Amino acid sequence: MILQLRLRLSVILISLCFGVAHALSTEAIIQDCNACHGIDGASMAADIPIIGGFSDFYITDVADVYRDRERPCEEVAYPAGSGLSEVNDMCKVFDKLSDKQIQAVAEHYASKPFVSAIQSFDAVKAKSGSIIHKKYCEKCHTENGSAADDDAGILAGQWMQYMETTFNQFDSNQRSMPSKMKRKYNKLSAADKEALIHFYASQN
């Protein structure tokens, strides 16, 4: 009898938690996102991607990828906001949101401009990266990786540290990628990847 009561209480508490999450307004969710990704998605933290200006399709697709655990769900401390220094991860974030809420958030960030990161880069490596990009990446990441309409994220002006982490996740098979991309990516050397990162950093 006591066990049954505990189980019922657990179910009620879980239901309440999810009920609160789904009751959050779009504004409240965006405020929470801004605490990590910066106002309007213009991240000021080198390990957190800039997302303002991404297409709404790409953002909703990323949400599905996290829900399916096809990307590492690494804990990150909030760099700003009321939850400063508290930790969270993207899988937990998207697990709590409905499809409708995710779509609303995606449309919000898609309506904002992409604000390129101001960072140092190696001009020589960037020049080599330009050649590599045109050979291997331009077909899907057009306009030097700056076109949101490609629905492939925006690479031009993205934080180098975040790009390095992404490439490391690709290399260790922690993060999935389309089969066409994987065939081309596997042809790149470590020096090629480094040159690409410097090239995208130079596009600001």
According to DSSP, the β-strands at 76-77 and 87-88 are antiparallel
CA torsion sign for 102, 91, 71, 162 is positive
pTM of the model: 0.84
158-174 pLDDT per residue, tens: 999 999 999 999 999 99
Residue found under tokens 């331009």: 138
Encode pLDDT of 76-100 as tens digits.
888 776 666 678 899 999 999 999 9
CB 117 within 8 A of CB 204: yes
pLDDT in tens, 114-153: 999 999 999 999 999 999 999 999 999 999 999 999 999 9
Length of the chain: 204
Select the more confidently predicted residue: 197 or 1: 197
- Concatenating the DSSP letter of every residue in 3-54 gives HHHHHHHHHHHHHHHHHHHHH--HHHHHHHHHHHH-GGG---STTS---TT-
Q: How far apart are CA 121 and CA 14, in angstroms?
A: 48
